[in-house]
Amino acid sequence: MFGLRAVIRNAAAARVTAATTSRRSAPALVARRYYSEHEETYEEFTNRYVKFFENVDEQFELQRGLNNCFAYDLVPDVSICEAALRAARRIDDYATAVRVFEALKIKVDKPTQYQDYLQALKPVMDELGVQTKEELGF
């Protein structure tokens, strides 16, 4: 009986070690794979995400695209935000449209930049009936 417990304990320890080892090695493989790929310009980045949001037809894809877009170390262009707002209203996801502005507010360096984005997106906001969190009273 004692021998069986030792075998089970060793097998469990081997599984944990294998799981942690595979998780540690995976990011290194991903980093190597992306390292040699083509770097895209800001215009290419903008065009890619505008096209992406123009073709979105479900909430999951919209939110995934926004998460990916805002994960980069840059503030998305006004045209990307406009395409994302239009996609959110097209699929009837008002909450995500409001969250686009929340993400912008966090992403910009200065409050004046956020005001510039609001001013640039004001016609689209009026057309689609989208308000910011502050305008909604939250």
Judgement on whether residues 65 and 129 belong to the same structural domain of the protein: yes
Between 31 and 13, the more confident residue is: 13
The band of 138, judged by pLDDT with boundaries at 50, 70 and 90, is: confident
Considering the domain architecture, whether residues 56 and 89 belong to the same structural domain is answered as yes
Full domain range(s) for residue 121: 42-136
Contact between 87 and 53 under an 8 Å Cβ cutoff? The reply is: yes
Predicted local confidence at residue 10, as pLDDT: 53
63 lies in the same domain as 84: yes
- Span 61-94, pLDDT tens digits: 999 999 999 999 999 999 999 999 999 999 999 9
Higher pLDDT, 132 or 30: 132
Say if residue 117 is in the same domain as residue 54. yes
Output 65 or 12, whichever has higher pLDDT. Answer: 65
Based on the fold, state whether residues 15 and 74 are members of the same structural domain. Answer: no
Asked if 51 and 82 count as a contact pair (C-beta separation under 8 A), the reply is no
Count of domains in the chain?
2
Identify the DSSP state of 55: T
Residues 58 and 111 in one domain: yes
